[in-house]
Structure 1
Amino acid sequence: MRRHALHAATWAAGLATGLTACAIALAHGDVTPQAVDTHELPSLGEGWRDQNPYRAKDGSQDIAVRIGTSAFNQNCARCHGLEAISGGIAPDLRRLDNDCASMKDAAKKTACMVENDQYFLTTVRNGRSRNGAVYMPPFEGTLNQEAIWSIKAYLETRREKPM
């Protein structure tokens, strides 16, 4: 009798764990990357930029932030949180370049920002996986350069520590 009770308890625990995992996965909704309409932004060309071209205050920044907000909500918020405030599932992207914010030397701060831009671009383009498990899907081929940099422009408005 005990053996059957132990078997039933083990089976029930396994079922509960499986259902919890399914519920967590489904809570993120459709994680298929969504294309972003960037026709309002000037084309950045074929070659990938090594830093955010929409950081400059040249008029394209406002459009990029608007497009980036929508693109973030469509593609990133389900894991990184609404308004980039993570609930713990994925990194809080408001902190992406916190290390740069406290730097006093302008040249070092610029180099830090470029390094963060390159990390962001590589991560978004290629995604993240570990031991065969996909933690973030790759967006290259779905999001063009303009869309990716517009998301970064939006995230720069959400910074935890202002530059």
Structure 2
Amino acid sequence: MKSIFSSHFQRRAAQALVLSVAALGAAAVLAHGDVVPQAVDTHTLPQLGAKWLEANPYNEQSPARAEALRIGTSAYNQNCARCHGLEAISGGIAPDLRKIDSECLGLSDAGKKAACFKEMDDYFLSTVRRGRTRDGRVYMPPFEATLSQEAIWTVRTYLETRRVP
């Protein structure tokens, strides 16, 4: 009788373990939630106009940098963190955005460094505006219809403060 009880108990314990792991896996998938872009209030920033700029206007010399960073931190958390990770530290689902322009940091030639950062700004801007798809699958939704130019550049401003070499 003991062996029947023992095997029944082991089977029930194994079933409970499988159900628990399945529930945790489902919760992890659902934790990303619906990746629908959320609008960002940028009314406290100077408006940039309809023509998209080629470089971040909220650079270190900009008087609006502190406000852009405040807004960009919130905008990142609302729109990007669910895939790219809190504080831009990726958990492996999407690229680690702290490293988006890490190659540029190591360049000693000022001209090459500036060209590298411009190329990364172009890549960032086109990716955020249009999203990324491959084989018909959406890897990143387009944000241009929801986020203004000001909002997108504030996210870039935030990411610049998170850089790692």
TM range (shorter): 0.7 to 0.9
How many angstroms does 1:20 deviate by?
8.2
2:133 matched residue in structure 1:
129
Indicate yes or no: 2:43 matched with 1:32. no
1:85 matched residue in structure 2:
89
Letter in 2 for 1:74: Q
Which of residues 99, 102, 120 is equivalent to 2:124? 120
Q: Deviations over 1:59-118 (max 9, x none)?
A: 211110110000000000000000000000000000010010000111111111010000
TM-score, normalised to structure 2's length? 0.83
How many angstroms does 1:21 deviate by?
7.6
Q: Structure 1, unaligned stretches of length 5 or more? A: 1-15
Which of residues 99, 109, 112 is equivalent to 1:105? 109
Name the stretch that deviates more: 79-88 or 50-59. 50-59
1:9 matched residue in structure 2:
none
1:46 matched residue in structure 2:
50
User: Quick one: structure 1 residues 56 and 118, their matched pair in 2 at CA, closer, same or farther if it must change by over 3 Å?
Assistant: same
Whole-angstrom distance in 2 between the partners of 1:130 and 1:58: 37
1:8 matched residue in structure 2:
none
Identity %: 63
1:96 matched residue in structure 2:
100
Q: Structure 2, unaligned stretches of length 5 or more? A: 1-18
Q: Deviations over 1:43-68 (max 9, x none)?
A: 11110011111114222111101100
Q: CA RMSD in A?
A: 1.7
How many angstroms does 1:143 deviate by?
0.2
Whole-angstrom distance in 2 between the partners of 1:97 and 1:136: 19
How many angstroms does 1:30 deviate by?
2.6
TM-score, normalised to structure 1's length? 0.84
Larger radius of gyration: 2
Name the stretch that deviates more: 85-94 or 49-58. 49-58
| Greater than 4 Å deviation, 4+ residue runs | 18-24
Report SS of the residue matched to 1:134: strand
Report SS of the residue matched to 1:46: coil
Whole-angstrom distance in 2 between the partners of 1:45 and 1:158: 27
Letter in 1 for 2:145: G
Whole-angstrom distance in 1 between the partners of 2:28 and 2:130: 24
Report SS of the residue matched to 1:54: coil
